[in-house]
């Protein structure tokens, strides 16, 4: 049996199965979509995608499919080529598993929505664009997927477009992603002009790659993966419904930037400056996001900042020149982050739309399955040994501690790890434990299997995914094996310190001391003052500058000063100088005659 043929066929069949709910309604009037059919399609797609993954794991078969070539100029090839390697074949089943669970959850969450089928179709479009991005072998196909996920993100965040904040958030997402796209297009242009190719295979250069394309790629990743500087859109994107937050803004879309850096990793290999830039940018992002998450009171915003922090950690891993470890973290993170969002969605719907953790409490007895899975997800997020997050997070911190790179980045990352523990425990304590503060008459129930089975399925994934992936897929180079015990348990120690700190703070919160605003807490609450500073300052300066150019430069300068008014000024200047000579005295005029006769006599001699 030709394994390569089966691999190619099943991989293409996965993509084809996903596009059937889009194509079939166009072919016939009778074939209408329903949310259930779309969920079942994604489930079938997931089961099919397990086949190529199994083939890859057991035989190491990779493949490259070239479908069609856009012969648009003679000397530049743009093939539509797809690469089935470790990254795409492993991420396909993970993304499809997570999407299947989220779509099943969304059949309950969005049940009261009149346009639920349109919602599911949007999610399906997003999924297809994401998978195109994952499986792309050249930057052209990747760009198609990149823009596709950006557009679907816009449409899905502004799903309830009657809300002003949802529209603002969607615009924010599009604009920040656009800033990142500038970097990607810059890199594509440089590659097209210098290396005459957009294929990932042909990207490695023997000597040091110049900084320009790498800066472009880092900008693209910063825009899409919400690194510091281009991060505000991710917390704002929580305006969308919870299934959107779970699918796009935690597991799949936001990792597209990191995935781009993983794919174009050969370019980064030999440029240490770019790697250090990634490292520092990731370290700042992870600490900043973790700081902001400490004082948030909206459960979705806490999880959004947690996502932003983990994305910073992935960027740190890229900066350590370990793309496969970053991919491992992407895979394990997808499971527990999606589950955290689904649990929060279940809690929100049960409390009739309440998202503030100050009005939740004691839900452990009322929503046992949801809160148990929330606990499992939080433990996995913190890197509890032998859950999913441990395998990737612990390895990242070990590699960071034992590398001879920036120790400032290490300190920031460790601080962010302890903050992760702090806000996670805070969220757990306020949501699940203690006496309840929920409004009465809340429709709390977990009776619907459409709620409990996705969450429990993802919980199983959060527990075993890390173990399974690391058992079957070996790292390309040996990770550091020997280190002092104190370095080995660094991650565990800082997490434990964070847990202890959080428990002490929650005890303090119950004593009769009235808290006040402090500068640090204000910094954290107002998200580092970044949003008003950037959004107001940049826009007012640009608009004022534009107004000045339009009115002063064009109207005043070009049309007036260099045209009629300027000429008139010059002429009045000349006229004013001349009038001083018109004194009316005959002697002056006789003198001027004499002067001119003298000049003529001298010049003709």
526 or 551, CB closer to another protein?
526
Tell which residue, 194, 205, 257, has the closest CA to residue 230.
Answer: 257
Return the bridge partners of 356, or none: 298
Q: Which is nearer to another protein, 481 or 512 (CB)?
A: 512
Among 66, 324, 355, 369, binds another protein (CB under 8 A): 355
CA angle 588/589/590 to nearest 5° reads 90
Would you say 277 or 430 has its CB closer to another protein?
430
* Contact call for residues 297 and 358 (beta carbons, < 8 A): yes
Q: Is 584 in the site for another protein (CB under 8 A)?
A: no
Minimum distance of another protein from residue 358's CB (angstroms) = 5
Task: Tell me whether residue 417 or residue 424 sits nearer to another protein (CB atom).
Answer: 424
Q: Taking a C-beta distance cutoff of 8 angstroms, is the pair 308, 449 a contact? A: no
| Nearest CB to another protein, comparing residues 112 and 579 | 112
Q: Of 370, 342, 381, whose CA–CA distance to 463 is shortest? A: 381
Q: How many whole angstroms separate alpha carbon 61 and alpha carbon 55? A: 7
Query: Footprint of another protein on residues 155-174 (CB under 8 A)?
Result: 160-164
User: Which residue, 365 or 516, has its beta carbon nearer to another protein?
Assistant: 516
Query: Would you call 573 helix, strand, or coil by DSSP?
Result: helix
Least Cβ distance, residue 155 to another protein (angstroms)? 13
Instruction: Count the site residues for another protein by CB under 8 A.
Output: 35
Tokens of 31: 């074939």
336 close to 389: Cβ distance less than 8 angstroms? yes
**DSSP tag of 475:** -
For the bound state, the minimum distance from the C-beta of residue 362 to another protein, rounded and expressed in Å, comes to 11
Q: What is the DSSP string of 105-120?
A: HHHHHTTT-TTHHHHH
Using CB under 8 A, pick the residue from 517, 577, 579, 580 that binds another protein: 517
**Binding status of residue 113 toward another protein by CB under 8 A:** yes
> Looking only at residues 183 through 242 of this chain, which bind another protein when binding is defined by CB under 8 A?
none
Among 118, 358, 507, 544, binds another protein (CB under 8 A): 358
Question: Is 447 within 8 Å of 366 (Cβ atoms)?
Answer: no
Alpha-carbon distance of 371 to 377, in angstroms, equals: 10
Interface with another protein by CB under 8 A: which range of 185-193, 258-266, 346-354, 477-485? 346-354
Closer to another protein by CB, 71 or 358: give it: 358
Using rule CB under 8 A, residue 30 touches another protein: no
For residue 313, give Cα distances in angstroms to 75, 251, 475.
41, 14, 18
Is 62 near another protein (CB under 8 A)?
A: no
Q: Pattern 405-444, binding to another protein, x per CB under 8 A?
A: -------------------------x---xx-x-------
Choose between 85 and 298: whose C-beta lies nearer to another protein. Answer: 298
- Residues within window 274-333 making contact with another protein, judged by CB under 8 A: 295-298
- Per DSSP, the three-state class of 522 is helix
CA 320, CA 475: separation in Å to the nearest integer? 14
Other CB atoms within 10 Å distance of the CB of residue 132: 20
* Nearer to another protein (CB atom), residue 526 or residue 571: 526
What string of DSSP letters covers 219-286? HHHHHHTT-TTS-THHHHGGGS-HHHHHIIIIIIGGGHHHHHHHHTHHHHTT-HHHHHHHHHHHHHHH
Residue 364 vs 495, nearer CB to another protein: 364
Instruction: List binders of another protein among 518-537 (CB under 8 A).
Output: 521-522, 525-526
Q: How far is the CB of 162 from another protein (least distance, A)?
A: 3
Q: Using CB under 8 A as the criterion, which residues of the chain lie in contact with another protein when the complex forms?
A: 112-114, 160-164, 295-298, 352-356, 358-359, 430, 434-435, 437, 509-512, 514-517, 521-522, 525-526
């Amino acid at each position: 049996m030709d394994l390569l043929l089966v691999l190619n066929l099943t991989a293409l069949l996965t993509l084809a199965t996903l596009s059937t709910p889009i194509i079939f309604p166009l072919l016939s009037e009778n074939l209408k979509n329903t949310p259930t059919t779309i969920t079942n399609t994604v489930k079938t797609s997931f089961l099919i995608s397990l086949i190529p993954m199994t083939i890859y794991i057991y035989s190491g078969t990779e493949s490259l499919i070239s479908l069609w070539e856009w012969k648009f100029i003679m000397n530049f090839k743009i093939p539509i080529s797809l690469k089935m390697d470790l990254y795409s074949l492993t991420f396909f089943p993970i993304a499809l598993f997570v999407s299947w669970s989220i779509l099943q959850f969304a059949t309950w969450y969005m049940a009261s929505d009149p346009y639920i089928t349109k919602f599911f179709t949007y999610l399906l479009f997003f999924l297809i664009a994401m998978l195109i991005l994952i499986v792309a072998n050249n930057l052209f196909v990747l760009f198609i997927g990149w823009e596709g996920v950006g557009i679907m993100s816009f449409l899905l965040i502004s799903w309830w477009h009657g809300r002003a904040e949802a529209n603002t958030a969607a615009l924010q997402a599009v604009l920040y992603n656009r800033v990142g796209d500038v970097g990607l297009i810059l890199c594509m242009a440089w590659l097209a002009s210098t290396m005459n190719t957009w294929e990932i295979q042909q990207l490695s250069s023997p000597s040091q790659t110049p900084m320009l394309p790498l800066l472009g790629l880092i900008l693209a990743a910063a825009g899409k993966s919400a690194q510091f500087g281009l991060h505000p859109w991710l917390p704002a994107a929580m305006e969308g419904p919870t299934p959107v937050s779970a699918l796009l803004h935690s597991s799949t879309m936001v990792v597209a930037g990191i995935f781009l850096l993983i794919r174009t990793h050969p370019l980064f290999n030999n440029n240490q400056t770019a790697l250090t830039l990634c490292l520092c940018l990731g370290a700042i992002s992870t600490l900043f996001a973790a700081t902001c998450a400490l004082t948030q009171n909206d459960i979705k915003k806490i999880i959004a900042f947690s996502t932003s922090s983990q994305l910073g950690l992935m960027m740190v891993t890229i900066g350590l020149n370990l793309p496969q470890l970053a991919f491992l973290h992407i895979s394990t993170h997808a499971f527990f982050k999606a589950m955290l969002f689904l649990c929060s969605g279940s809690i929100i719907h049960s409390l009739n739309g309440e998202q503030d953790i100050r009005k939740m409490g004691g839900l452990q007895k009322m929503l046992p399955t949801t809160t148990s899975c929330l606990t499992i997800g939080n433990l996995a997020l913190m890197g509890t040994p032998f859950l999913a997050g441990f395998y990737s997070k612990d390895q990242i911190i070990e590699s960071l501690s034992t590398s001879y790179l920036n120790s400032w980045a290490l300190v920031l990352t460790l601080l962010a790890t302890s903050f992760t523990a702090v806000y996670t425990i805070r969220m757990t304590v306020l949501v699940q434990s203690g006496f309840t503060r929920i409004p009465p008459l809340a429709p709390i129930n977990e009776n619907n299997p459409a709620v409990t089975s996705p969450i429990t399925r993802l919980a199983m994934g959060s527990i075993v995914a890390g173990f399974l992936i690391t058992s079957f897929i070996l790292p390309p180079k040996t990770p550091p094996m020997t280190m002092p015990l104190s370095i080995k348990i660094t991650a565990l120690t800082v997490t434990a310190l964070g847990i202890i700190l959080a428990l002490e703070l929650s005890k303090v919160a119950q004593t009769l001391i009235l808290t006040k605003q402090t500068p640090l807490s204000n910094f954290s609450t107002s998200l580092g003052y970044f949003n008003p500073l950037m959004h107001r300052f940049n826009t007012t300066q640009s608009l004022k500058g534009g107004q000045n150019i339009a009115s002063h430069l064009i109207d005043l300068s070009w049309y007036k000063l260099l045209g009629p008014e300027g000429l008139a000024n010059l002429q009045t200047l000349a006229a004013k100088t001349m009038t001083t000579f018109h004194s009316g005295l005959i002697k002056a005029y006789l003198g001027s005659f004499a002067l001119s006769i003298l000049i003529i006599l001298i010049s003709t001699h």
